[in-house]
Amino acid sequence: MAAASRQHIYQTIQTSLAHIPNYIGQESPDDYCNKIQQAISFTNTMIADVNNANANTFTDVHKADIYKSKMAGKYVPVPAQHPAGTNIDTSALFRAWFRHKYYELTIGTRQASLTKLTQEKFLPIDTPETYKERIRLLLLQTPNNNADALAIL
């Protein structure tokens, strides 16, 4: 009974999740998680009813698995623990890992790009086009109208 009910919940959630693309860095982690949370929230009554009938049929672990299933690209695989010794088994712990990973992959890359941008020079072998292309690649790592990047330029 519990497995069938859990399966029904997953199927219901999947309908809402189908409209949310897998995460590859297209928005902030919190905005993305809020979309998934909203998709899950449509089944809150169903989850409560199933859990009342059979305790722990659909738990936070199952919800965390849904979040994990929406990761793609450089955000997979999602580790079992973060930090070491702490299982990623709730949506809150998933968000903590997700924010850390996002910062590590995105913000850290931006900082490195800004540092490299400060060291770039127009070399005697450069043409305006080659220099522009080299700078453009660094600017792709920074958000639009980034005050630090604009100050450097």
Tell me the C-alpha distance between 5 and 20, whole Å: 23
Which of the pair, 54 or 78, is modelled with greater confidence?
78
So what's the pLDDT on residue 27? Answer: 87
So what's the pLDDT on residue 87? Answer: 96
What is the arithmetic mean of pLDDT over 107-113? 72
18, 23, 25, 72, 150 from 62: Cα distances, Å? 17, 19, 23, 18, 45
Tell me the C-alpha distance between 108 and 114, whole Å: 10
Q: Which domain holds residue 108?
A: 2-152
Look at residue 140 and tell me whether its pLDDT is greater than 70.
no
Give the SS3 label for residue 71: strand
Which of the pair, 28 or 146, is modelled with greater confidence?
28
20, 93, 72, 2 alpha-carbon torsion, rounded to 10°: -70
Instruction: Give the residues across from 71 on adjacent strands.
Output: 23
Mean per-residue pLDDT over the chain, rounded: 87
**pLDDT band at residue 136 using 50, 70 and 90 as cut-offs:** confident
CA end-to-end distance (rounded Å), the chain: 64
Domain count, the chain: 1
